Amino acid sequence: MSFITMTRKHKQRLTVVLLLVVGIGTAVALALSAFQENMLFFFNPSEVVAGEVPTDRTIRVGGLVTNGSVKRANDSLLVEFSVTDTKNSVPVKYEGILPDLFREGQGIIAIGRLEADGSFKAQEVLAKHDETYMPPEVADSLKAAQAENAQIKMPESHRAN
């Protein structure tokens, strides 16, 4: 009648439950590591430049919008910019509405196809937000401090894995 007793029956059931957790855990871990490649949401510009990405289907390319690369057409929604992982960059063409967070230096993911000339024609552009939240004043003072150090550091979340 007591709450936590350990009769043989209870020990058996406890063992079965623990084995179940360990077994399922192992099976899922093996399955996920086998599908590691397919679980990647996007490719890096370096992989694109090295030709490691498929050209015959829609892919995703993720990186930072290169500073000073954004060119907007005056009479349409056409935008041209390049994405970089600070080593290599890929030119991107996109026609449509960009998300709020899109700006130079921002992490983005472009969905589309690689053209024959090595440029990327995007059907959709998603902004990738990083995990930092701060008031504008703090961001300004951080930026000023960073400019003094003259070091452009890439946020960890956008680095190639």
User: Does 145 sit near another protein (CB under 8 A)?
Assistant: no
Distance CA 161, CA 28 (A): 21
**Interface mask toward another protein for 30-59; x: CB under 8 A:** --x---x--xxxx-----------------
How many residues make contact with another protein (CB under 8 A)? 50
Structure-token pair, residue 123: 């059907």
**Interface mask toward another protein for 59-98; x: CB under 8 A:** ---x----------------------------------xx
User: Does 5 sit near another protein (CB under 8 A)?
Assistant: yes
CB 98 within 8 A of CB 80: no
Distance CA 4, CA 92 (A): 63
Structure-token pair, residue 12: 């058996």
- Residue closer to another protein by CB (options 27, 73) is 27
Q: Which residue has the tokens 């709020």?
A: 100
- Residue closer to another protein by CB (options 51, 136) is 136
Cα–Cα nearest to 45, from 139, 119, 156, 127: 119
Structure-token pair, residue 119: 């440029």
| List of residues contacting another protein (CB under 8 A) | 1-5, 7, 9-10, 13-14, 17, 20-21, 24-25, 28, 32, 36, 39-42, 62, 97-102, 109, 124-140, 156-157, 161
